[in-house]
């Protein structure tokens, strides 16, 4: 699905490089999460309180780990859902594993009660697998209490169906994303963020982890994987084509690093094909030096965070 670069790709300063490369550079900057200081402050407060209540330390960094899109560095600006894992002592697992009734639910309530010492209970809920804290500024934390296993994976509580223990393995996923991103001139994480903007703009039924998984697989052998912003029109076009070609009957994909199953949430292929066609039109407009028309096509794909 990949075409060779058009002649305009190699135009020097004042040509395509100052145009298209600048558009995508600005777009990627616009997508960067702007709430880092606020998120870090709240992360440390939650960590400090949980350490005080469950460990013999008041550290605001020990036993915690950013996971999810924030941990993989693929989150974008806007209302933020921050996933955070907090490691509890094994003795706590023994306590709640032997708990009468739904020990997993009781564990979540114990973690919720600890966090309520720091944040208002009106903003804190415990349900399913996590304790969630919501703030009025649109930032929310989902705190997963977990127990570290000997293989560096984690066991966590699931309150559904009477309660059970499940396993997650986020560290290899984070490490795999970082390693491949470094080998691809930072293009992997930027591609993941751009596709989150597409997901929002088009209401695509796809999870953030599946976006990251598909981008990770796509870019491994992609011919322009280590190129500059000058090639981002081709990178986006070809990734849309690659996603559109995924088997519609496939139920799950394997996450980077951990190999855990990442299940689909619906058919994303049709909207990927639509945006492949729009990307082709945008590239044709750019080749014809119709800058405004090209940018309108990209904005149709990605929304208003793409420069006008």
The structure tokens listed for 65 are 């780990």
* Residue 158, pLDDT score: 95
- Judged against a pLDDT cut of 60, whether residue 2 lies above it is answered with no
Return the sign of the alpha-carbon dihedral for residues 61, 65, 71, 77. Answer: negative
Distance CA 120, CA 100 (A): 29
Does any domain span residue 2? no
Q: How many angstroms separate the CA atoms of 57 and 158, rounded?
A: 27
289 and 238 within one domain: yes
> What pLDDT is stored for residue 214 in this prediction?
98
Whether residue 70 sits in one domain with residue 19: no
Which of helix, strand or coil describes residue 183?
A: helix
Domain end among 118, 142, 168: 168
* Predicted TM-score of the model (pTM): 0.90
Residue 286 counted as domain residue: yes
The confidence score (pLDDT) of residue 18 equals 58
Bigger pLDDT: 236 or 137?
236
Number of domain units in the chain: 2
Examine the domain organization and report whether 183 and 121 are in the same domain. no
Burial letters for 113-142: b for 16+ Cβ neighbours within 10 Å, e otherwise?
ebbbeebeeeebbbeebbbbbbeeeebbbb
pLDDT at residue 6 greater than cutoff 90: no
Rounded Cα distance, 272 and 243, in Å:
6
| Alpha-carbon torsion (253, 256, 257, 258), positive or negative | negative
Query: Looking at the structure, do residues 176 and 163 belong to the same domain, yes or no?
Result: no
Give the residue-averaged pLDDT of 116-122.
84
Question: In CATH, what number is assigned to the domain containing residue 97?
Answer: 3.30.460.90
Are 57 and 39 contacting, i.e. CB atoms less than 8 angstroms apart?
A: no
pLDDT confidence of residue 286:
96
pLDDT, residue 17, reads 44
Tokens 């032997």 belong to: 98
DSSP 8-state code for residue 223: T
- Stretch 198-204: mean pLDDT: 98
Domain match, 177 and 296 both: yes
Q: Is residue 307 part of a domain?
A: no
Three-class SS state of 254: strand
pLDDT at 123: 83
Q: Could you tell me if 249 and 189 lie in one domain?
A: yes
- Which of 147, 168, 189 is the last residue before a domain boundary? 168
Least confident of 120-134, 152-166, 243-257: 120-134
Q: What's residue 110's pLDDT?
A: 96
> Which residue among 150, 168, 186 closes a domain?
168
Is pLDDT above 50 for 117? yes
> 255 or 138: which carries more pLDDT confidence?
255
In the predicted model, is pLDDT for residue 238 greater than 50? Answer: yes
Say if residue 24 is in the same domain as residue 69: no
Which tens digit of pLDDT belongs to each residue from 274-288?
999 999 999 999 999
Q: Give yes or no for residue 12 having a pLDDT over 60.
A: no
Residue 8 is predicted with a pLDDT of: 37
Please determine, for residue 5, whether its predicted confidence score (pLDDT) is greater than 50.
Answer: no
pLDDT for position 172: 97
Q: Are residues 45 and 156 in the same domain?
A: yes
Q: Which domain holds residue 279?
A: 7-31+172-302
């Amino acid at each position: 699905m990949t075409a060779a670069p058009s002649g305009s790709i190699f135009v020097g300063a004042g040509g395509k490089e100052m145009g298209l490369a600048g558009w995508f550079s600005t777009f990627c900057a616009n997508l960067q999460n702007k709430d880092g200081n606020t998120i870090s402050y709240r992360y440390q407060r939650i960590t400090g309180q949980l350490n005080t209540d469950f460990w013999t330390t008041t550290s605001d960094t020990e036993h915690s780990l950013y996971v999810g899109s924030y941990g993989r560095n693929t989150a974008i600006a806007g209302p933020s859902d921050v996933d955070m894992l907090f490691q509890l002592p094994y003795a706590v697992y023994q306590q709640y594993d032997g708990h009468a009734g739904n020990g997993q639910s009781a564990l979540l309530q114990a973690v919720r009660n600890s966090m309520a010492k720091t944040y208002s209970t009106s903003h804190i809920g415990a349900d399913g697998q996590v304790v969630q804290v919501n703030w009025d500024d649109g930032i929310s934390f989902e705190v997963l209490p977990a127990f570290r296993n000997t293989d560096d994976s984690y066991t966590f509580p699931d309150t559904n169906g009477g309660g059970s223990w499940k396993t997650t393995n986020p560290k290899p996923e984070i490490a795999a994303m970082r390693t491949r991103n470094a080998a691809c001139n930072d293009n992997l994480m930027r591609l993941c963020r751009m596709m989150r903007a597409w997901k929002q703009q088009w209401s695509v039924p796809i999870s953030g982890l599946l976006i990251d998984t598909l981008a990770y697989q796509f870019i491994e052998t992609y011919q322009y994987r280590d190129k500059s912003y000058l090639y981002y029109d081709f990178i986006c076009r070809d990734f849309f084509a690659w996603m559109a070609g995924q088997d519609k009957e496939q139920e799950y994909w394997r996450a980077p690093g951990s190999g855990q199953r990442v299940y689909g949430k619906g058919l994303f292929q049709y909207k990927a094909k639509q945006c492949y066609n729009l990307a082709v039109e945008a590239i044709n407009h750019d080749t014809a030096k119709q800058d405004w028309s090209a940018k309108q096509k990209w904005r149709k794909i990605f929304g208003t965070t793409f420069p006008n």
